[in-house]
Structure 1
Amino acid sequence: MISICIPTYNYNVEKLVTDLSLQCKAAAVDFEIIVLEDGSDENHVAENKSIENIAGAKHVINSENFGRSITRNTLADMAKGDKLIFIDCDSEIPDSQYITRYLEHSDYDVVCGGTTYKETQYSPEISLRYTFGTKVEKTLGSQRNQAPYSAFTTNNMMVSKKVFEKIRFCESLRKYGHEDSLFGFDLQENHIQILHIDNPVIHKGIESNEIFLAKTKAGIENLVTISKLENISPKFLENIRVYRTYTKLKRMKIAWTARINFRIFKRVLEKHLIKSKRPKLLLFNIYKLGYLCNIATAIENPNKN
């Protein structure tokens, strides 16, 4: 049996659930689809109520927003299948063979399908997220298999139930950012193999430039929170490129220069990242490093402005 787990927050998933249900029936596989509302508003909960009429689907509502980690762990606990397929709510299934391709690789404990985008999705308002998605996330399985743990994401993956008996998402992380990275690191530390295949979902919910930049900053803030956890492994932090660069600057005693430069050029960088039709990912990476140096230095040296 497979359990399709869809954590959702303020998003209509009726078409996604319908497509998945039809594919499962066509594949003649025993299945269930669990949609867990993580603090969605009343209007979106009402919109998704219709999925209760879709074959194999279950609609579960959390009135409180618990965050990505707790929600995914809850879905895994609820699931009856020995294989769990996690799909983000803002995904679209691109063809009729999505479920079949996962079933063909059911011998593996963890399988990641990948993410893709359509050229027709582009608009200047979402240029930063679209550029990041098409240049960084949209990769072939063969490319991702060259660094399987670094390329790990949970927006589209199949994982065995027994993996969750050993590894859980870190529930102390209630805010956005790097939950996937930490889970992938735990897989690596436990020598659990990840297979990347070409079975992508289309990322439909592309955020505006302003929202994506705000989420990026939130993710960096969460990374600093993770770095302060007592049981966090230094090896995990070294796997995160922006943090690895920050620690290198810190060892060289020049992280403060990145902090000052960030404060000087912050508005210029933000204007480019938000307003440019073709934002440069190099400048995006510089912005992330500068923001990390700024907040990390402030936390470590609270008396320095």
Structure 2
Amino acid sequence: MKVSIIVPCYSVASKLPRCVHNLLAQTFTDWELILIDDGSTDNTWDICNSFTKNNAHIHAVHKENGGVSSARNTGIEIAKGEFITFIDSDDYVKPDYLQKLVEGQEADLVLCGFRSSTGIDFTPEPQYLIGDDLSKNIQAIVENDYLLYSPWCKLFRRDIIQKHQHRFDPEIRLGEDTIFCYKYLLYCSSIKVVASNSYFYDGVWGGYKKYVLTRQEVEYLDKAEITTLHNINQHFNCRIDLTYRGYHVAMLKGLYEKFRDYDTFEMYTRTHDVLPPEHFFANHKLSYIFWGIVELETLYVDKEYCAGKLFMQRLHHFFTIPTNQLLSYSYKMRLIHYLVKSKHYTMAHVLLIFLSILKH
């Protein structure tokens, strides 16, 4: 068996048939398909079972709901192929998808591009990286969000995964797939990038899910990502900038769009201490600055100096205020946090306007 295709499924009865039918149309035929039903609440399990009846190379497993990481790990445990690829159950692939990936089978990791329902059409430049070439180019691979964001569009070696007991972290609800890909890099001596976009991602790229991580989860995820990237820097002797990576950064990137969705805003306010006055959201530019300050200040207040310095660097990155100005206004940022907590919204708003002027 050459390739094991692992598809985690949760209540996707309307889209799963499209996913499987497109896999059945693959021009490359030496594969097995593992459908993992993660405790679906619709008839997804029945659909999984129906595909196994006339296809000996399709296997279906039903398990209690444990999340996508748990489902993928279950698939890894029973996979028999020389290689493993992951496909999301609401996505689909073109007939040449597996064939294109297998063309890079001499490498420890094969990467390709994708298209999305929102108009993204990413076809990477082909390259084969090994030895010094891998060390020189690993930073560009990591910093290209399209290449390592998720486990799909990739071909992993099963023997590497098993040798290192490499698994998805079930403790992480969001971003677990990126961490999985980052850590796998540490076991790679070669990477092949193929010029293909045969994977179709049927979702919103970088979109927020309809739940908000707790602060403890954010800190756990941030630590996992920063630690892994630090290890990559050490292993490949490269200089990935850790300051602007991590989930705190990803969270800030989406704040502006996130709070335009009132339902998501309501969910956020139920799980966070600081409740802003609604009029701040009349001006999205100010709300973006406001939430960047409050969120990071809340996360790092009363921590050691290094954490405070990291806080200032991240604000510099997101609000494009020169570092020398930014450091001189750190007291005002802390004051905004205090004023909001004390419900002195008018004074906080004045300071926000002042900071927004600095931004230009």
Deviations 1:33-58 (A, max 9, x none): 00001121142323333222352211
**Could you tell me how far 1:294 is from its partner in structure 2?**
5.7
Distance 1:196 1:216, change over 3 A: farther
In 2, Cα distance between equivalents of 1:30 and 1:169: 24
**Could you tell me how far 1:159 is from its partner in structure 2?**
0.7
Partner of 1:140: 123
Partner of 2:108: 109
Q: Does 1:33 align with 2:33?
A: yes
**Could you tell me how far 1:155 is from its partner in structure 2?**
2.5
**Could you tell me how far 1:31 is from its partner in structure 2?**
1.9
Q: Does the 8 Å CA contact 1:16/1:91 hold for their aligned counterparts?
A: yes
In 1, Cα distance between equivalents of 2:216 and 2:189: 28
One-letter code aligned to 2:220: T
Equivalence map 1:183-222=2 (5 Å)? 183-197=180-194, 198-206=196-204, 212-215=207-210, 217-218=212-213, 222=217
Secondary structure at the residue paired with 1:159? strand
One-letter code aligned to 2:123: L
Partner of 2:90: 90
In 1, Cα distance between equivalents of 2:287 and 2:181: 24
Aligned residues: 255
In 2, Cα distance between equivalents of 1:291 and 1:155: 35
Partner of 1:279: none
In 1, Cα distance between equivalents of 2:9 and 2:192: 25
Distance 1:6 1:238, change over 3 A: same
Partner of 1:171: 169
Q: CA RMSD in A?
A: 4.3
Partner of 1:79: 79
Q: Does 1:238 align with 2:235?
A: no
**Could you tell me how far 1:99 is from its partner in structure 2?**
1.9
Deviates more, 1:292-301 or 1:105-114: 292-301
**Could you tell me how far 1:20 is from its partner in structure 2?**
1.1
Name which of 274, 281, 294 aligns with 1:268: 281
Deviations 1:2-47 (A, max 9, x none): 1111111111312221221231xx43x4321000011211423233
Deviations 1:212-243 (A, max 9, x none): 434584398744223457x9457279276355
Partner of 2:153: 156
One-letter code aligned to 2:281: V
In 2, Cα distance between equivalents of 1:284 and 1:49: 49
In 2, Cα distance between equivalents of 1:241 and 1:233: 11
One-letter code aligned to 2:174: G
> TM-score, normalization: structure 2?
0.57
Partner of 2:221: 226
**Could you tell me how far 1:87 is from its partner in structure 2?**
0.8
In 1, Cα distance between equivalents of 2:200 and 2:82: 25
In 2, Cα distance between equivalents of 1:113 and 1:219: 33
Distance 1:17 1:234, change over 3 A: closer
Distance 1:172 1:267, change over 3 A: farther
One-letter code aligned to 1:218: L
Distance 1:293 1:73, change over 3 A: same
In 2, Cα distance between equivalents of 1:9 and 1:186: 26
One-letter code aligned to 1:180: D
Partner of 2:236: none
In 1, Cα distance between equivalents of 2:74 and 2:274: 43
One-letter code aligned to 1:113: C
Q: Does 1:6 align with 2:26?
A: no
In 2, Cα distance between equivalents of 1:268 and 1:143: 44
**Could you tell me how far 1:158 is from its partner in structure 2?**
1.2
**Could you tell me how far 1:260 is from its partner in structure 2?**
12
**Could you tell me how far 1:296 is from its partner in structure 2?**
2.2
In 1, Cα distance between equivalents of 2:185 and 2:170: 20
Distance 1:84 1:245, change over 3 A: closer
Secondary structure at the residue paired with 1:101? helix
One-letter code aligned to 1:14: P
Taking every aligned residue pair, what percent have the same amino acid on both sides?
20
One-letter code aligned to 1:9: Y
Deviations 1:84-129 (A, max 9, x none): 12111111223x2112112211212211223212xxx5xxxxxxxx
Give the greater-gyration-radius structure (CA). Answer: 2
Deviations 1:152-198 (A, max 9, x none): 1213321110121225234352x421212222322333344433322
Q: Does the 8 Å CA contact 1:7/1:89 hold for their aligned counterparts?
A: yes
Q: Does the 8 Å CA contact 1:113/1:141 hold for their aligned counterparts?
A: yes
Q: Does the 8 Å CA contact 2:114/2:123 hold for their aligned counterparts?
A: no
Partner of 2:59: 58
In 2, Cα distance between equivalents of 1:219 and 1:195: 37
Distance 1:206 1:227, change over 3 A: closer
One-letter code aligned to 2:160: V
> TM-score, normalization: structure 1?
0.66
**Could you tell me how far 1:206 is from its partner in structure 2?**
4.4
